[in-house]
Each structure stands twice: as C-alpha cells, then as structure tokens.
Structure 1
Amino acid sequence: MMKHLSKIALLSAMALGSTFALAQDITPTRVGPVSQYGQLMTGKNSQGQGRIYGSCEGVKDGAEVQVRGMSLYWSLMPQAVEFWSEEGVSTMVNDMNIQIVRAAMATGNEDWNNGYQGYGSDPNTQMNLMKTVVEAAIKNDIYVIIDWHSHNANEQTEASKNFFKQMAQTYGKYDNVIFELFNEPTDIAWGTIKNYADQVVSVIREYSDNLILVGTPKWDQNPQVAIGNEVNDPKKNTAYTLHYYANSHCWSGTYDWGGTCEGTNGEQAINAGLSVFVSEWGTGTADGGGTPDQGRNQSWQEYINKHKLSWANWSASKISEGTAAFEGSSTKNSLQYTASGNLVKGYLATNPTSYTKCAANNGNETPIFVKTDLNFNVTFSGNALHIAGAPMTVEIYSLKGDKLMAIDNVSGTLSLAKLPVGKYFARIHGKSTNMVRAFQIK
C-alpha cells in the first residue's frame, strides 16, 4: 500500500523544502525546481512501485518528481573542466533548461593528458571543483549530484568516507544536494558494494538526510540485485542507479544471446518497490562513441517517462566523443551542439520553463497551522523545543509522516538531541491550541 501523509504531515513536508532556505548561506538567484519540489525522497506509488518524490508535496500518486539534466565529464581534462564552473552551470540552465547537474569527480590517481589529477593525488583541486559546481547549482536553484566517479570505490572506502563527510557537513542541509556513492561498479558482487555503501551512508547520515544514490553491479545495469537486501539507511532515502547507452543497451526483453535487457532489470527493481535513478546515460555506444540512433533513443525515453525516472545525460563536455554534447568551439559562456547535444537539448526543452515556490513557504519560525492562546508560544533552538504556556502534548514526526514519539504534559524545554540528524516536524496541541512546526536537527 502507498504511504499517505496526513494533512498535517503533508503541509509540514511542503514547508520543509523551503523553510530552511532562510538559514542557508547560499541564496538562489531564481525560483527553480528545488524551490518547487523540495528535497528529493524515495517512496512507493499506490501500486507499490518505487518512485522519487519531493518533500514539498510528499509521497502520493501524482506528486512524483522527475528531473532531467546533464552530467559533467570526469574532472580530469580541460575540455571537460571548463564546464565545472559557475558560468558553465548557468549557461546550461539558461540555454539547455537543465534541472539537475551531475559532478562526476575523479577519485583516484588518474592523470589524463597532463590535465587534472584525481582526488587521490590532488584532493584540494578536486574538492574545489566540486564546491564550485555545487554552489553554482544552489545559486541556480537546481539539483546537483555529488558523484564519487569510480569503478572501484570499494577499494577507496576511507577516502570516500572522508570526502562525503566534508560534503555532507558543508552542503547536506541544502535540498539541492544528492550524494552518489559509487559511479559504476565493475563485475563486483552486490554484497561487496553494499558493505562499502553501508559505511559511507552512515557517515553522511550524521549530517544529512538527503537522497543517496548507490551503484549496482556491471556498470549500474543490475539494480534488481538490491531487492530484499537493500543498503542500510536509517532515513530510508536511498535509490539505486541504472545506466544505459542507447546504441548498446536494450530497454525491454532479452538479448539474442539470452541476457536480460538493462531496462527489464530496472523495471524489476521498480516493481519490487525500489526507487531507481538514471544518473548517467548516453545517446551512443557504451564506450562514449557512436552516432545517436534516433529510434533507440526515443524508445529509451519512452521507458524513462513511463517510470518517471530522473536522469543526467553523459556528457556536458567538448571531449572528442560521440556522446559529448558540445562542439569543440564551445565555451563555458557559449554552447554549440553536437548531434548528441541537439538530441538531448530537444528532450530537455519539455522541462518546465518556470517554477512556483512551495505553497507553505512561511519561514522558519512561522507555524504551518496555528490556533493558539495569546499567552502560548513555541520556539526551536539548540536542538530543543521551548514551550511557553500551559502544558502541552508534543508529537514528533519524520518527514514522511511517521510518528516517532509522543509526550504528554510538556512545559518549558524539551530536548530533541537524541534524534538523528535530519528534518522533522512537531505537532503541539492542547485544549485550545494546535500547532505544527518544522525543525531540523544538525
């Protein structure tokens, strides 16, 4: 059965996506998809199929969120890194109508063509590139995927934990941010991937309850392997990635040699209730080359739209590859498109061109609904609720509307420090008072 939010829970979820914007250090310069949808979150529709929703409307049929945009190329070569910039992100927002950007950070000791080195050799440069893209996305009010772009992340566990700790501490409070822990595992057993992911998730959850993406075996083509053995996430906000290249992979059925199509694997995971996210796909072949096949790309788009899957296209670069979106003459301020880029730009043209802030955008200290005595007041500070007035009953709910605690006859200060880091709402009610207030534990 689908999880339905109560009216109070729904209103609170709507507020959470925008309530904390007032406390943020980076201010958006426009109203974009993040203001409208809020934090992305996993959930199931009324048929039990996995979907992605936004905190502004909560988990309910018709409120599924599908965002579409571009993936930056590995942060290693000048033809790619030029677009790892505020100007590059803003140009894609204005010219391509993107709703999401993926920052595919090189994680090891890579050093291509005397360009940039990966995080293992030059962490400061890579961190600065990532921060630039994340902050540009926040300013543009779009989503951003912080991608540990590795094929062997399970061998980089400590470095990954350190990186994501810093990212979650710095940016985990922003609804824009999505954490992708493992780009494309090679032929690695799911148990090995899960063991790595469990460790990194626990670090992120100390600071953020934002959406987490986890890769699956054989280059993200087997999300169904997580059925019944999901990543341990106390916030239950983890999705599994499906990657495809239209000229190489199939969306339905099986291959002539007997293997199951990647799209069939994704559909199996979705039907089992797992949320799936297409964090990378290409118009050509799996090696990044090839001329886009219009028919195969259209069939994949129909599959994606049927399941309301969010996506980031590979790649926002002028690398000499068939799947690169930009011609070599492009700059971060001016884009000229390849055949692949024009095709993808056409898909992105159907994204909304304007957005509306959450309806309950009332500010951090304004209750969503209040009928109160004049001598009654509730504030939140120092990870505690402060109640002035007659004793009240306090109920604490998760973002999805699950009741976590209920305490009668509360007056004065109620410590909430034992709650994990995340966003919640409190319902405070008594004989003549009924108030709901959103709050965040940091």
Structure 2
Amino acid sequence: MAALLALPAALPVSGWAQPEALAVTEHQAETATISNGLAEANHAGYTGSGFVNYDNETGAYVEFTVTAATAGPATLTFRYANGTTADRPMDIAVNGAVAAGGVAFAGTGAWSTWGTRAATVTLAAGANRVRATATTAHGGPNLDKVTVDTGAVAVGRPADVNGQLRVCGVKLCNQYGKPVQLRGMSTHGIQWYSQCVKTASLDALASDWGADVLRISMYVQEGGYETDPRRFTDMVHGYIEEATRRGMYALVDWHQLTPGDPNANISLARTFFTEVASRHRAKTNIIYDIANEPNGVSWAGIKSYAEQMIPVIRAQDPDGVVFVGTHGWGSLGISDGRTEQDILDNPINATNFMYTFHFYAASHQDEYFNALQRAASRIPIFVTEFGTQTYTGDGANDFAYSQKYLDFLAANKIGWTNWNFSDDFRSGAVFKQGTCAGNTFTGTGPLKPAGIWVRDRMRTPDNFPTS
C-alpha cells in the first residue's frame, strides 16, 4: 500500500547533535535511608560502594533525599538488578504521596546484570523525600542508585502526560486508564531517507507540528535490516532516544513487505526485537509493531507469527504494547478479497496488543472505510500508516475522504501515523524535494500540500485525560 518502490540505498546517514546539558544528579541506594533491607556488595556491576538488597516482604523501602532548584517535573531512573523471573513492582512516592504506583521491575536475567526503570514525578522546590517501596512479598529488586533529571521533562509532552500505555478493551489507554488518541508521522525507509530524520526536523515535528508519536520505519528487505543488522538496529536505538528526548512515543516498525509472509523473517525478528525490547525496557514510550503489511499470507499464518513473537517481546518488556499488521497489506483483509471476520473468528491469543489498519484515501474508500467502522467496535485498532493519495503514495490528494477517515478516528480515539516524513518526489512525502539537505522544517514553507494538510490536523490540541 505504501510507496515502496526501489530507491537509491547510498544516501547519507545523518548524525545527531549533542543534547544540551541537563540538570542531572545521582543518589546511591546504599547511602540512602533503608527500611527492611541491607547494603551489600556481593554481586558485580554495581556503582558506588554497593547496592540495597530488599528484604522479601511488602513495605520494604529505600528513601532518597533529592534536592530540586525549582518545583516541576523530573525523571527518576532507577538502576537495579532482578535475578528472578518474577516482576518486583514498587510504588514510587514523593514527600509521602505515591507519584507512580506499581512500577514494574522485571527480571534482568541475573543479579549481576543491571537494568534501568524510569518514572516521571513532580518535585517541590528544595529537599524532597523520594521513596521506592516494594508492593509484593517478593520485596524489591537489588537497587543500585537513582538518577534524577530535572531538565529532561517538559510539562504537557505526550509521553510524559500519558506514561506507560496499555490496551483496555478496544482502546489504547494511558497510565490513568483513560482512552487516548496518538497522532504522528512515519519516517520513510531509514535506509533511504535518514537525512530527513535529524535534530532540526524532529524538533519541528515535536514542537511545531505537535506530534505525539514517531513511527520508525525500518525495512527488513529492500536494502534494509537484513543487509546490515548491526547498523540498522543501532539506527533504531538512536531514533528511539531522540523521540524520548522530545517527549514523543517511539513506534518501532518492523517493515516487512516483500516477502509478505512475516514468518519468512521470524528468526531476524526474534533477534531484533529481543535486543530493542531489552535495551529500552525501562522506557514507558515504546510501542512495538511486529509486522508492517502482511500480504500473500492467510490470517491464520499471521496469527501464528504473532503468537510466537509477542512472547519474545514480553520476555524483555512485560508492559510494552504490541501492534500486529492485518492481512491484505494492513487492510483487515479487504485487499485480499477477505474481511475482518477472519480476525473476529480467530483472534490472536494475547493481551495488551492492537491490530493495525492502513488506508490511502484516494484508493481505499467505502469498502475499506466500512470495514474499519465495523471492526473498530470489536477489536483494538491503530492506523499505523495512511496517506491522502493513492496506495502508491502518489497522485492527487483526496482531502475530503481523508477527512472522513480522520473524523471517524478522532471520534473513536483511534491513533494514527501519516506516511511519510521525507522529501521523496511523491505527493505523499510531506516535504518539498531538497528540504532535507537543509535545516528548515518549521512552518508551511517547506511543505507540499499533503504536508500542510496533515500538519494542520496534528496541531489541534490533544485530549489526554488524567482523571
């Protein structure tokens, strides 16, 4: 469905500017106030002079004294080890009030293997008591330290407000259990258009466009991942960090297209998602899309793939939301002469996941729209790719039918990402050709008509309920 014709693979890979210095302090657990636990040093890899081994009981805690220059939001990043397979959740309280409840501290594989888990809280000006309290009889993990970043969080940024997402019923819900709609952009294939995904363009996407989510489109074939797994995995890691710095969600797109059966790439997918989920498990802004546009494969084949891949991610990131592409190039089966009934009759046996739908408004009209309407009340759906043009990502824009889709998506709080954030020659690329060679991405000047249209619809205020 997307414009995925062969393109030169020799385009340059952009570098990242160094981020500005942030207000960051570190506090060692072994020097904090400990209740029902011991400072120990019998497992390698800790920082400072040791770590805290929580007693195996509910209510054990470590309390840090944290000073903030001014009142406001902060990111607390806990470094920990959990050598068991059981989650050891903790409540994070600030000055006696729980600020982040039930934060997961999943197994890290060994007591000498250290991971991180982050939580966003609000600190008062001056001294603050930050307490991490075990909420189960397993106690807490071994806690090494907490890093406090008072400069990395801006009030109102999408990932900061909504926190860890989860699927509730047929909706995508935020940390408060409220349905939310995320709106954002998809990169073009990063093997071709990485020069369009850089500091200036992402600053514009987050601040000028008001995007909630960045879809990182990593092709498996077509000169992508399979040609250099290390390079492309590292590129994805970098883009995740850039989205995180700007308070956006990072949607990691395993962009299999040819072959259309995702089972053909399942070994590669296991390797890729194991590393990505392990590296970023402590973040609350990661979404995993394990199959972009399955085609030439039955729904049963996609279901089998999903039920093998979802546990791969869950083993590393128990809380992460997973997306699964539908048959017929993400059309709920319509482009294959099927319907959403295939899915309804044989749903994926998993939780905390969503099915994806793609449309190109000039090509996919009543039959596709009606299928989306029918399915949206029965299964959780996210539109990970759409365009205002034909399914090739080219041709004239049909803004009227595009608006019909977007009105329905807004009314039903179904999230979307638009194809695509590049200066490709096609009408579906939002920037005029040559834009990505420079550093001017704000306003409407650099944009094609489709870019102006989708930017306008992204700039309307988000509705992220918190109570």
Say whether the fold is shared (TM-score over 0.5). Answer: yes
Moved more, 17-26 or 64-73: 17-26
Tell me whether 1:159 sits opposite 2:268 in the alignment: yes
Aligned residues: 317
Deviation of residue 86 (structure 1)?
Answer: 4.0
Preserved CA contact (<8 Å) 1:277 1:310: yes
Residue number in structure 2 paired with 1:212 = 322
Q: 1:88 aligns with which of 201, 210, 220?
A: 201
Q: Deviations over 1:351-398 (max 9, x none)?
A: 349x89x78xxxxxxxxxxxxxxxxxxxxxxxxxxxxxxxxxxxxxxx
Q: 1:120 aligns with which of 216, 223, 226?
A: 226
Residue number in structure 1 paired with 2:165 = 40
Residue number in structure 1 paired with 2:3 = none
Preserved CA contact (<8 Å) 1:71 1:103: yes
Moved more, 99-108 or 31-40: 31-40
Tell me whether 1:67 sits opposite 2:165 in the alignment: no
After TM superposition, list the pairs within 5 Å mapping 1:280-295 onto structure 2: 280-295=385-400
Q: 1:312 aligns with which of 417, 433, 439?
A: 417
- Structure showing greater relative contact order (alpha-carbon pairs closer than 8 Å, 6 or more residues apart): 1
Q: 1:227 aligns with which of 344, 361, 370?
A: 344
SS of 1:97's equivalent?
coil
Q: 1:324 aligns with which of 429, 445, 455?
A: 429
Deviation of residue 172 (structure 1)?
Answer: 2.4
Amino acid at match of 1:349: R
Q: Supply the distance in 1 between the matched residues of 2:462 and 2:269 (Cα, whole angstroms).
A: 35
Tell me whether 1:278 sits opposite 2:393 in the alignment: no
Q: Supply the distance in 2 between the matched residues of 1:25 and 1:218 (Cα, whole angstroms).
A: 47
Deviation of residue 202 (structure 1)?
Answer: 1.0
Residue number in structure 1 paired with 2:354 = 239
Q: Supply the distance in 2 between the matched residues of 1:42 and 1:214 (Cα, whole angstroms).
A: 13
Q: Deviations over 1:211-230 (max 9, x none)?
A: 10000110111173322422
Tell me whether 1:299 sits opposite 2:299 in the alignment: no
Residue number in structure 1 paired with 2:75 = none
Preserved CA contact (<8 Å) 2:385 2:416: yes
Residue number in structure 2 paired with 1:102 = 215
Preserved CA contact (<8 Å) 1:68 1:100: yes
Deviation of residue 95 (structure 1)?
Answer: 2.1
Residue number in structure 2 paired with 1:30 = 154
Gaps of 5+ in 1: 1-7, 45-49, 112-117, 253-260, 360-442
Q: Supply the distance in 2 between the matched residues of 1:311 and 1:41 (Cα, whole angstroms).
A: 16
Q: Supply the distance in 2 between the matched residues of 1:38 and 1:21 (Cα, whole angstroms).
A: 8
- With structure 1 as the length reference, what TM-score do the two structures score? 0.67
Residue number in structure 2 paired with 1:114 = none
Q: Supply the distance in 2 between the matched residues of 1:155 and 1:133 (Cα, whole angstroms).
A: 26
Q: 1:177 aligns with which of 286, 290, 303?
A: 286
Preserved CA contact (<8 Å) 1:84 1:129: no
Query: Sequence identity of aligned pairs in percent?
Result: 26
Amino acid at match of 1:41: R
Q: Deviations over 1:188-247 (max 9, x none)?
A: 1011111111111111000112110000110111173322422232xx100000100011
Q: 1:348 aligns with which of 445, 454, 458?
A: 458
Distance 1:95 1:28, change over 3 A: same
SS of 1:120's equivalent?
helix
Amino acid at match of 1:202: P
- With structure 2 as the length reference, what TM-score do the two structures score? 0.63
Q: Supply the distance in 1 between the matched residues of 2:197 and 2:102 (Cα, whole angstroms).
A: 29
Q: Supply the distance in 2 between the matched residues of 1:24 and 1:169 (Cα, whole angstroms).
A: 20
Amino acid at match of 1:21: A
